[in-house]
């Protein structure tokens, strides 16, 4: 059995930098990766999806240019094969970059599935290693819902969607979460007839209802057909066509994209051999310093049952590095933001009003519709709103929800204020540049000033 200072399982967003940084400090690090280097984000997640949306939203904007008095007779043509070829170039480049980084740092890379064979002992690809510190960063995979007839059909998930070479005419999207909506709207903008099905009564059901309302309006304007409160009773596949049985109604499509959630990659790890406990859904249980139930074994990122975002996993590695160096850092003392890259975008940070009240804050919220923001009005992009949640007593900003163009960028104004512990009055006093979308944020705060 080999010995190392650190074993990392999974080359995800947090595992790679931690492995590289420890190795650069002269420590012996072994990293196991069973799939493509770099994990979900660069191979099948953020990077390809945002590259795909760059084409799709450009097509959407070009079509909308008509209302600005342009291109009235122009038609947007889509070379779907070229769009997807471009998209596939990004993961290849990213994976090469990750490999180069690990090699340069001196990490011993084992391209195999790893499993525990004892306490802090890991095996994979014929390599057996022990180390005082083991990091689990194995992420998640698409969940296959239990629908009769689905298993074994050539349905798409965010894992294999990127292999599409021809544009499917009709696409059925199961799941109205952010993956389903981003890809569904993208496909519609690239010329597919898209149906999005969700069992909830609104899309993005985890968000505030007003967010769903705006998104539904935008999707319908793009020609997406929404089927809410819908239960798929069975899936049939034949003659290269999918049929969804909805109890009375039937929907047909040339492709079926399943985007109904993610499951943790813990099955193959044989966690029981190391004494690492999981929750009822299979996510690794951790304390607020990323410790699992087994001494010396830590878990970060998606697999640790946290909000599933790249920046969470990446930030985890920085905090864990500090904790391993003896600093008193915690996982949760951070303002957490995220975004949905539909058009309009959704930018979220911190608590919603409901969450704030549940946490015991004397909270209130203010809203500003986008049509009140000069920049949005001038560009004709007025679908959306800005919302801020504050604590009445301390006047601190507790959270924000922005729906509109570039909301993913704009929400960082709130993120910065929240990290700085600042109040809505500070925001209200800030002089933002005219005419920008960001100018709407002090205006929003001004509503609190009366």
Give the DSSP H/E element, type plus range, for residue 255: strand 255-258
Distance CA 185, CA 407 (A): 17
Distance CA 374, CA 436 (A): 7
Active site residue 227: no
Tell which positions 177-196 bind ligand FAD, by CB under 6 A.
Answer: 179
Shortest reach from residue 39's CB to ligand FAD, in Å = 2
Size of the site for ligand FAD (CB under 6 A): 36
Question: Which residue, chain included where needed, has tokens 């389903």?
Answer: 180
Among 4, 7, 9, 173, binds ligand FAD (CB under 6 A): 9
315 binds ligand FAD (CB under 6 A): no
Distance CA 265, CA 107 (A): 23
Cross-strand partners of 439: none
Quick one: CA dihedral 214, 220, 224, 227, positive or negative?
Answer: positive
40 binds ligand FAD (CB under 6 A): yes
Question: Nearer Cβ to ligand FAD, position 50 or 372?
Answer: 50
Question: Nearer Cβ to ligand FAD, position 46 or 374?
Answer: 46
Among 4, 7, 8, 11, binds ligand FAD (CB under 6 A): 11
Tell which positions 110-129 bind ligand FAD, by CB under 6 A.
Answer: 113-114
Distance CA 278, CA 294 (A): 11
Among 269, 271, 274, 284, binds ligand FAD (CB under 6 A): 269
Catalytic residue (choose from 195, 311, 317, 434): 434
Question: Nearer Cβ to ligand FAD, position 319 or 361?
Answer: 319
Shortest reach from residue 277's CB to ligand FAD, in Å = 17
The DSSP 8-state label assigned to residue 367 in this structure reads E
Tell which positions 248-267 bind ligand FAD, by CB under 6 A.
Answer: 265
Tell which positions 279-308 bind ligand FAD, by CB under 6 A.
Answer: 301-303, 308
Shortest reach from residue 90's CB to ligand FAD, in Å = 12
Among 22, 29, 30, 39, binds ligand FAD (CB under 6 A): 39
Distance CA 404, CA 383 (A): 6
Q: With CB under 6 A as the contact rule, which of the stretches 42-50, 190-198, 206-214, 376-384 interacts with ligand FAD?
A: 42-50
Tell which positions 136-175 bind ligand FAD, by CB under 6 A.
Answer: 137-139, 158
Helix 80-105 crosses helix 15-24 at what angle (to 10 degrees)?
A: 30
Shortest reach from residue 367's CB to ligand FAD, in Å = 25
* 161: nearest Cα among 52, 284, 33: 52
DSSP string, 65-133: GGGGT--TT------HHHHHHHHHHHHHHHHHHHHHHHHHHT-EEE-S--EEEETTEEEETTEEEE-SE
Quick one: CA dihedral 155, 228, 303, 86, positive or negative?
Answer: positive
172 in Cβ contact with 195 (< 8 Å) = yes
34 binds ligand FAD (CB under 6 A): yes
Shortest reach from residue 114's CB to ligand FAD, in Å = 4
**Cβ neighbours, 10 Å, residue 154:** 10
33 binds ligand FAD (CB under 6 A): yes
The residues carrying an active-site annotation are 434
Contacting positions for ligand FAD (CB under 6 A): 9-14, 32-35, 39-41, 44-46, 49, 113-114, 137-139, 158, 179, 265, 268-269, 301-303, 308-311, 313, 341
């Amino acid at each position: 059995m080999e010995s190392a200072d650190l074993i990392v399982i999974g080359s995800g967003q947090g595992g790679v930098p931690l492995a590289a940084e420890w190795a650069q400090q002269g420590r012996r690090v072994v990293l196991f990766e069973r799939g493509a280097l770099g994990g979900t984000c660069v191979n099948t997640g953020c990077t390809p999806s945002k590259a795909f949306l760059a084409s799709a939203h450009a097509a959407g904007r070009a079509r909308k240019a008509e209302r600005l008095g342009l291109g009235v007779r122009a038609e947007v043509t889509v070379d779907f094969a070229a769009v997807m070829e471009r998209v596939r170039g990004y993961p290849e480049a990213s994976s090469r970059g990750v490999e180069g980084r690990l090699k340069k740092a001196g990490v011993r890379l084992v391209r195999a599935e790893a499993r525990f064979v004892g306490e802090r002992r890991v095996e994979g690809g014929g390599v057996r290693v022990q180390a005082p510190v083991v990091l689990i960063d194995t992420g998640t995979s698409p969940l296959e819902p239990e629908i009769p007839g689905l298993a074994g059909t050539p349905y798409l998930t965010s894992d294999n969607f990127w292999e599409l070479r021809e544009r499917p005419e009709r696409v059925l999207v199961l799941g109205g979460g952010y993956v389903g909506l981003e890809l569904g709207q993208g496909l519609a903008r690239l010329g597919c007839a898209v149906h999005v099905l969700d069992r909830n009564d609104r899309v993005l059901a985890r968000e505030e209802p007003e967010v769903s309302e705006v998104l539904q309006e935008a999707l319908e304007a793009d020609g997406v057909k929404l089927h809410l409160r819908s239960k798929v009773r069975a899936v049939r596949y034949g003659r290269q066509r999918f049929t969804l049985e909805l109890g009375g109604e039937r929907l047909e499509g040339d492709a079926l994209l399943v985007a109904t959630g993610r499951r943790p990659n813990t099955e193959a790890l044989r966690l029981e051999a190391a004494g690492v406990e999981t929750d009822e859904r299979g996510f690794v249980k951790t304390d607020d310093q990323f410790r699992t139930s087994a001494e010396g074994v830590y878990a970060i990122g998606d697999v640790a049952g946290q909000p599933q975002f790249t920046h969470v996993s990446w930030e985890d590695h920085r905090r864990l590095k500090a904790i391993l160096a003896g600093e008193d850092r915690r996982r949760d003392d951070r303002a957490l933001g995220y975004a949905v890259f539909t058009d309009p975008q959704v930018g979220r940070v911190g608590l919603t009003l409901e969450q704030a009240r549940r946490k015991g804050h004397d909270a209130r919220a203010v809203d500003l519709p986008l049509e009140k923001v000069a920049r949005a009005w001038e560009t004709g992009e007025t679908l959306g709103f800005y919302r801020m949640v504050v604590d009445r007593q301390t006047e601190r900003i507790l959270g924000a929800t922005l729906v509109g163009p570039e909301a993913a960028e704009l929400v960082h104004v709130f993120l910065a204020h929240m990290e700085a512990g600042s109040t809505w009055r500070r925001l209200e006093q800030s002089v933002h540049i005219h005419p920008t979308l960001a100018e709407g944020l002090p205006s929003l705060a001004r509503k609190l000033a009366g």
